[in-house]
Amino acid sequence: MTSKESPKSKWSNTVAQDVTKKVAKLVTDGPQLVITIVGARGVRGADWLPGKAKPDCYCEVTSAGKTLHTSQPLRNRCEPHWNEECQVAEFSKGPLEFSVYDQDARGRDLLGAAQLQPEDFLEEGFNGDVKLASETLAQAYLKVRVKVPGKSTPAGPSACFGAVVSRQDKNSSFGIRFDIRDGSHLAVLEIMAGPFSEYNATTAASDRIRAYDFLSIVNGVSGS
């Protein structure tokens, strides 16, 4: 005795097989890397001085000579925040190169560049700051995240922390210099001898106040 498959059953099996193939293809052909350019701090234009305009920044990601992503330019920012994600379908397993540029009418100036070596992200991914090497920037950092297949994005360092810094009397210097043009935050330009450097000397590296950090609340008062 032989059984004959009904047209409806045959159609259902065909659809199920097609869906299975598509799911398998998505898994196989999914992105090898998901890169997020979060933002930068400490970025100053090549010709920047206090009181002058801030740079129009964008970030370019390359690997093995191939451009993987170019962020949107952000105008008049020393602390640009892009939070842009790109999916990389083909990856040569070489270093990831990040370059931050200042775009103006004359062209572009390289502000700083950094690399992530494969051993820094291929196994577990990456979530943190990389220092921008530059001839014009003293201390500048780019925050990036890299997600690899089968892994969650690693937890990154806290973006905010509190600090208690006291001076001997109201006539003493705190030993810190700010850029106040942001209007909402105090951008740290320099840490000098004084209470802030003493605080840094006695606290964990992750909680130290560095040049180009922002102070958002001081004694309970925040910016407008």
**Least reliable range by pLDDT among 25-39, 143-157, 165-179:** 25-39
* The predicted structure's pLDDT at residue 114: 95
Q: 145 vs 17, which has greater pLDDT?
A: 145
Residue 23 has pLDDT above 50, yes or no: no
Q: Which amino acid is at 58?
A: Y
pLDDT-derived band of residue 95, with 50, 70 and 90 as boundaries?
Answer: very high
Within the chain, which residue ranges are assigned CATH 2.60.40.150? 33-147
Task: State mean pLDDT over 181-199.
Answer: 81
Q: Is the pTM of this model over 0.75?
A: no
- State which fold the 33-147 domain adopts: Immunoglobulin-like (2.60.40)
